[in-house]
Amino acid sequence: MEVFLGGGNREIRKDGGFVHRPAGPWSVTVHRLLSHIRARGFDRAPQPIGFTDSGDEILSYLPGAVSNYPLPDSVKSEAALLSAARLLRAYHDATEGFLGEDSTWQLKRRSPVEVICHGDYAPYNVVFDGTNAVGIIDFDVAHPGPRNWDIAYALYRWAPFTNPLNTDGFGTPGEQISRARKFCDAYGLGPQNRIGLAELIEERLRQLLDFLVSEAEAGVEAFRNNMRDGHHLLYQNDIEYIEQNRQIIDSGLNSGR
């Protein structure tokens, strides 16, 4: 029996133990990536099965709970935060050695290439069993890049570094910084590698904002809907919020160590 799973920008369906998603030009590369990390022992991402004649990709289904905003208390918990950080580290380590130099990606590669970034490591793309992060889904925007490029966006989503008017966020600036520091600790990111992370978060959000606007202007209906819903304004306000707090974020990421 088919079950509609939704999805932010594309229709996703579950059919038995498999998930069908519309494929893009980058999907063959993503399937190669998923096979690579599975061969390296990382089994907490979907297994690639293949493609249908109608243009869908087929993946194995990861059991568990995936949350959207507003986040439940279990996903906002410190246990979930630490578990998500460790899961991201395990994924990054498993991507090392992937030969994707000439591959097709949806987002541009970013130097220096250290890992294959997930590109959208947020609560809505992490599968949970209670407060334990047990899987990662939706690799559409995966692309080669440095670890910190992925970590920067993860901190935005998991700290989360959102302005007080963003109803998807929570916590005071001090609480957000504390959560970000704990995420970095759990990931294993050393002090020297935390320098300049606040500025990198801003840059990552500006890239996201530019991508949203360009896709909407190109006529992609899902992104046009995002613009109508004011997503671009939320990102712009969050960028300004992080910019205003850049100094205390950077200093706070290494305090209390």
- Token output for 122: 């947020």
Q: Is the pLDDT score of 9 beyond 50?
A: no
Using a pLDDT cut of 70, give the percent of the chain over it. 95
- Token output for 241: 């919020």
Given its phi and psi angles, is residue 16 left (phi above 0), alpha (psi -120 to 50 degrees) or beta?
A: left
Domains parsed from the chain with CATH numbers? 2-60 (3.30.200), 73-252 (3.90.1200.10)
Place of tokens 């809907």: 225
| Residues 184, 148 contacting (CB under 8 angstroms) | no
Distance, CA of 135 to CA of 166 (rounded, Å):
27
pLDDT at 183: 98
Q: Report the mean per-residue pLDDT for the chain.
A: 93
pLDDT at 157: 98
What is the sign of the dihedral through the CA atoms of 116, 119, 122 and 125? negative
pLDDT tens track for 224-242:
999 999 999 999 999 999 9
By the 10 Å C-beta count (0-12 exposed, 13-18 middle, 19+ buried), 220 is classed as middle
pLDDT tens track for 134-179:
999 999 999 999 999 999 999 999 999 999 999 999 999 999 999 9
Q: Is the pLDDT score of 10 beyond 80?
A: no
- Token output for 126: 């992490």
Mean pLDDT of 60-77: 96
Pick the closest to residue 253 from 191, 208, 199, 211 (CA basis): 191
Q: Is the pLDDT score of 1 beyond 80?
A: no
Place of tokens 């990111």: 189
Pick the closest to residue 86 from 136, 40, 46, 28 (CA basis): 136
